[in-house]
Structure 1
């Protein structure tokens, strides 16, 4: 006799195993005080626990399907490259990354994000399990995150140079100048070049009492 036990639709009283285990995972994560998110390999948020959502004054479902980098700024430029290479080589490991973000209270915070590559099938791209550890970094650490090229761009912007003038001086394309300025704006949460220059002086990136403006450290 043909076995039809597994044929046909799942009975209404039998829960979907995927839904069941997803709900169990959410229950476990929600009891953890550490902010945690699970993303696909492209950075799309699949699951966040309440602690992570609370950082931004939201419910977990309001962050689902958003990009994790909409909420965090990477301070380690090599993290994305390292994770991308690990995915290509089918590695399963952990990678620390320094990040900044603006929580619901509105005051910028800093911390360390641990990125763990998880997955059971080597041939498939892994998921990214992210855990957030908040710290407070002094201005010196923030200044150290500005590259020599960015410091020169900020100095040129402080002189009032245009994007084209900065590009010729630094030896990059105008798009490259705009990329660095946009990257700094996201990191420092400022809206324009004037605010960028002010922040650069406040954090010691640019030398005080000097004209024309110069980086504080040799580049």
Structure 2
């Protein structure tokens, strides 16, 4: 069809409207797998917008589970075979879970001689929840000292609050620093948050997992 003809332009615009509204994730890629056009459903699977997918490698966005599948498809396309190709893939959903499914690629072009584009559709088959690491345990005294330090207390203030001597507070700090490979108290508090020991977004500081 001559897309310069007014009727062809109308049909092209209608096709793009349907393309955008289809709930199935779809993209048009060049023969090398670079995204030329993606619909909102495909972009949503990548946590972005259709425009930001343009130029991205579809097999980097959706990782093949078997490299041999991709090699066979590349060879078939090189020989200008026009079958439907399927690739088992995995990817990370915007929420962090790992999804798995199947990409289906159909070569499309106006003539047999023309290098085809690939109409790619994604079928979601399932989802695995992200692995959530359990925060390391701390003793009640270590928990108390960590919350005091995170709240800005000095060693002397922590000693008064806990009923320990300054040396006693330092003893617990050295033990925690050794376990978490922290070089100073600022890093120790930062690691407590990073490891999930101190609850994020809570004030005053609170320990999530004391023994």
In which range does the TM-score fall when normalised by the shorter chain?
0.5 to 0.7
> Equivalent residue for 1:117?
107
* TM superposition shift of 1:73: 0.4
> Equivalent residue for 2:185?
none
Q: 1:62 is paired with a residue of what secondary structure? A: helix
What residue ranges of structure 1 are gaps of 5+ in the alignment?
Answer: 1-9, 139-219
* TM superposition shift of 1:123: 2.0
Matches within 5 A, 1:167-182: none
Deviations along 1:92-133, whole A, 9 cap, x unmatched?
A: 110111000012111110001111111122222211111111
d(CA) in 2 for partners of 1:104, 1:24:
30
User: TM-score, length-normalised on structure 1?
Assistant: 0.51
2:46 to 36, 43, 56: 56
d(CA) in 1 for partners of 2:42, 2:126:
18
d(CA) in 1 for partners of 2:117, 2:62:
18
- Is 1:66 the equivalent of 2:77? no
What residue ranges of structure 2 are gaps of 5+ in the alignment?
Answer: 129-211
Deviations along 1:70-101, whole A, 9 cap, x unmatched?
A: 31100122222222222222211101110000
d(CA) in 2 for partners of 1:112, 1:54:
16
> Equivalent residue for 1:91?
81
Give the direction of change, closer, same or farther, for the CA distance of 1:67–1:98 in structure 2 (3 Å limit). Answer: same
- Is 1:34 the equivalent of 2:24? yes
Q: 2:123 is paired with a residue of what secondary structure? A: strand
d(CA) in 2 for partners of 1:77, 1:64:
24
Query: Does the CA contact (< 8 Å) of 1:94 and 1:114 recur in 2?
Result: yes
Higher Cα Rg: structure 1 or 2? 2
Query: Does the CA contact (< 8 Å) of 2:97 and 2:127 recur in 1?
Result: no
